[in-house]
Amino acid sequence: MKKLVMATLAGALALAPVAANAEFVNVLTGGTSGVYYPLGVAISKVIGEKVPGARPSVQATKASVENLNLIQQGKGEVAFTLADSLADGAAGKEEAGFKAPLTKVRALGGIYPNYIQIVASKESGIKSIADLKGKRLSVGAPRSGTELNARAILNAAGIKYEDLGKLEYLPFAESVELMKNRQLDATLQSAGLGVASIKDLANSVPIVVVEVPGAVIDKIGAPYLKATIPAKTYEGQDVDVATAAVPNFLVTRADLKDDEVYAITKAIYENLPELAAAHAAAKTIKVENAMKGSPVPFHPGAAKYFKEKGVTP
């Protein structure tokens, strides 16, 4: 009996460090029909497999702005965000959804670019961005990263929200459902190429992918970049379409331990094929680009990993 008790105690002590080191890692994503969510699921799986003691979970959110505010509040460990939302958060722009500068948010690494994808039903007659005037448009959830992109693009194109026939603040999937039911003429979605919601729409009704002219992008400036939606990205899209792109970042909390963030960063950037298998947008993630253009400082744990890889800001 004594030997049995000693063996039991030894086993309990052996397990104790694992339990003590167990860390919850909540990954903040976006709507389930976007790109952030499936990539967040893949990141959660990689962290669970590669980071000893990690207990990952995935949370669907309204994306960039909500994610940044949740990180500031200590309610997440890894979050997706657009670079312009991150810059607005660092500056504490109230009109963008931030009550004060986000002092507790740190960059974990750059990932793939979001493409501004304006998609209209063919029967709407919309062929250019100017044609959106008087039409029914959804610009994403209120004060989401997508909606902030919509404001910037439309303003630069000389279009105010008041110029639209109808304005809806809806997530991707809901916008598509209204378009299928002929209750909307167009949707603006900021996401990786091949986003599920637009694929669904293009497979259901004839569409037009609307160009965002280079002059509009030049007027906005950084972090907006000129980009192209390649032909055949969506059913019925037979030609390349010029548009704008905005980089995406993963961010984390400043108060997390350096070794924890190092392990998470290493797990993500050394398992990129697993992320690409979850969504094609992740195929453009490259470790050598991970420190480019962040509006906020990098977490020391992430910076340590990238330094080992020869990557610098």
* Cα–Cα distance, 255 to 263 (Å, whole number): 15
DSSP code for 298: B
Contacts of 112 (CB under 8 A, 6+ apart): 35, 192, 248, 281, 282, 283, 284, 285
Query: Which residue do the tokens 């548009």 mark?
Result: 243
- In the predicted structure, residue 17 carries a pLDDT above the cut 80: no
* Cα–Cα distance, 86 to 68 (Å, whole number): 7
Mean pLDDT (whole number) for 182-211: 96
Q: Fold match between 2-112+248-308 and 114-246?
A: yes
* Cα–Cα distance, 16 to 112 (Å, whole number): 39
Write down the pLDDT at residue 188: 98
pTM over 0.85: no
Residue 247's DSSP bridge partners are 113
Write down the pLDDT at residue 109: 98
Q: Where are the domains of the chain?
A: 2-112+248-308, 114-246
CATH, domain range 114-246: 3.40.190.10
State pLDDT tens for residues 233-283: 999 999 999 999 999 999 999 999 999 999 999 999 999 999 999 999 999
**pLDDT band for position 33 (50/70/90)?**
confident
Write down the pLDDT at residue 16: 34
Q: What fold, for 2-112+248-308?
A: D-Maltodextrin-Binding Protein; domain 2 (3.40.190)
State pLDDT tens for residues 155-165: 999 999 999 99
Burial 156-192 (b: 16+ CB within 10 A, else e): bbebeeeebeeebbbbbebbbbbbeeeebbbbbbbbb
Write down the pLDDT at residue 64: 95
Distance of CA 176 to the CA centre of its chain: 19
State pLDDT tens for residues 55-112: 999 999 999 999 999 999 999 999 999 999 999 999 999 999 999 999 999 999 999 9
**pLDDT band for position 12 (50/70/90)?**
very low
* Cα–Cα distance, 280 to 294 (Å, whole number): 23
Q: Which amino acid is at 96?
A: A
**pLDDT band for position 4 (50/70/90)?**
very low
* Cα–Cα distance, 159 to 313 (Å, whole number): 36
* Cα–Cα distance, 42 to 54 (Å, whole number): 15
